[in-house]
Chains A and B, each alone.
Chain A
């Protein structure tokens, strides 16, 4: 019975891999100018620098698609790990203040240091995300019972509010900064270069390893603090490790694509609905489902409003929010 279930879930993972490959090809083929699949294949295997189609694939769509896959996987994993570590079904990089920290760092960099390059946003966003999560976690740990799920979420909301108050003050007094960041702040995959991919790749790799490695710890935490403790698990350490993984993943992905909400929130719920509890399966499922969702949303955004495009962060919000609402309506609240 157990082996059959494992085989079924492994087969599901394979199917998701196939779906991911399919959507990657679709992402390379669609856009302001549709390119036939054969041409996509030719561009990848036999690059011809004189062909404008091949140039579009290599200069624009490939970096964009690779960024989407990496950012999506990171957001899905980050959300799943955060939900497990905080035992909070609403945990998400945006709810725990990570996005706001990254945004403030970028806004400060643009306003005070005059930075304008996406590649310089990377380090700012990463630092800000890490700092915000550290502050949120320390604040939530104040008091007798440590960083409980409710306190973590509340501390995240409080810190987010403080950071947004500062961001708003900066943006109101500096039109130049407002103009500069209003496109980044939406969350978008367009205009990404391979430079950015290369810069964030090591962080994403480290975060992925940490996240996947924490599956057993998360399963322990999901039994409740007392049970986990009685099983000999060091709760603080487990939670800290998982939070570290989430910060690295969410910070790096925010740096690359801006704050994209709802992917980290919804994908783990879908994964859990397929796999049941147990983070050894939830984590890899989230890691594959999220980039499929993100690339799908990006493709929709590219074709929905020609000649322009709708940024992926907006599409995911409009796909993710109704889904989230349906989830809240359908499930027994006790199960959240």
Chain B
């Protein structure tokens, strides 16, 4: 019962923010016009100016925010659940850094732009995840070891990015920098299609693998006793989670902290009533959408990238977690 109420509340908030995202902007469009424009493919109504603003600019951006937020969140909560450690989200253990380093390499050394950069980022994330997995494998996977090795790999990748920055022209550095912070400012319909298609495949896959999770959550020993199917579910979930993180990063850049905060926030709302993958996805979408609204409209004349807002908010969340856990006398 509680689960449903939380999910309904989150979905309502998400819908309201979505409407706000279509409504707000430099060019004022009234609600009736928005509805008319959204229905225009069916009704045949056409007001070129309004349609362009709503269908070509604001709608793709809002959809991309919802999709990427959900993808980051699902990836994060999967890692956190599998490794039983809140620090083990892809933006902290170096997978996002792999995508970043690959993208900066594509922009600065290969001179790519647009969707090509996204595919480079995707490959980078996959390779990094594979490297971390192999390095952390020692007759099994241990959460603490994954986090530590991820931090080490991330440091190397950051150094590589810094090196590329010192070797490039200033405008290339600026372009790479904007990508690095994570932004929806340049969302293209192509990004929406690629990410949407990927999620259409990955999310159902994830749902089937999640059933194997119950055994994993009982602890490594119990899980081992249950045998190979658990290992398979674990590996499958890991791959799906990497895929989600990689596609989302490829589409919008390594937006910080969304993967990290969504799972714990959802669990907090649920107060122990279940695992909450769906709730985490809703939280992720909501965080992304609201952060982007703030980033777009908080400063006059400047469009901040969404990553600046999520970085600040995510850090505040981490601080709150610290204070709250200090009060209750335990950490995590």
A325 adjacent to B135 (CB under 8 Å): yes
Q: What 1/0 flags go to A155-175 for Cβ under 8 Å of B?
A: 101110110111011011101
Size class of the B contact interface (CB-based, 8 Å): 35 or more
Query: Does A47 sit within 8 A of B, measured CB to CB?
Result: no
**Majority secondary structure of chain B interface residues (helix, strand, loop or mixed):** helix
CB pair A186 B162 closer than 8 Å: yes
Picked from A144, A162, A185, the residue with its CB within 8 Å of the CB of B326 is A144
- B: which residues have CB within 8 A of A? 135-136, 138, 142, 144-145, 148-149, 151-153, 155-156, 158-160, 162-163, 165-167, 170, 173-174, 177-178, 180-181, 256-257, 302, 304-305, 307-309, 311-312, 314-316, 318-319, 321-323, 325-327, 329, 331-332
Q: Is the CB of A154 within 8 A of B331?
A: yes
Could you give, for residues 110-149 of chain A, a 1 whenever the CB lies within 8 Å of some chain B CB and a 0 otherwise? 0000000000000000000000000000011011110010
- Nearest CB to that of B311 among chain A residues? A165
- Given A165-B307, A165-B312, A325-B152, output 10 extra A-B contacts at Cβ < 8 Å: A143-B329, A151-B331, A154-B321, A155-B319, A155-B322, A158-B318, A161-B257, A162-B316, A186-B159, A311-B163
Q: Which residues of B contact A154 (CB under 8 A)?
A: 318, 321-322, 331
The answer to whether B318 touches A161, judged by C-beta atoms less than 8 angstroms apart, is: yes
Q: Offer 6 A-B interface pairs, CB within 8 angstroms, sorted by A.
A: A144-B327, A157-B318, A161-B318, A173-B302, A182-B165, A183-B166
Docked Cα-Cα span, A266 to B220, in Å, equals: 31
Option from B142, B155, B174, B311 in Cβ contact (under 8 Å) with A162:
B311
**Chain A: CB-nearest residue to B148:** A328
Interface of A is mostly: helix
| Separation of A318 and B329 alpha carbons in the complex (Å) | 39
Size band of the A side of the interface? Answer: 35 or more
Q: Which residues of A contact B151 (CB under 8 A)?
A: 90
A77 → B minimal CB distance (Å): 20
Partner-B contacts on A (CB < 8 A): 90, 139-140, 142-145, 148, 150-151, 154-155, 157-159, 161-162, 164-166, 168-169, 171-173, 175, 178-179, 182-183, 185-186, 261-262, 308, 310-311, 313-314, 317-318, 320-322, 324-325, 328-329, 333, 336
A261 to chain B, nearest CB (A): 6
> Could you tell me the distance between the alpha carbons of A173 and B301 in the complex, rounded to whole angstroms?
11
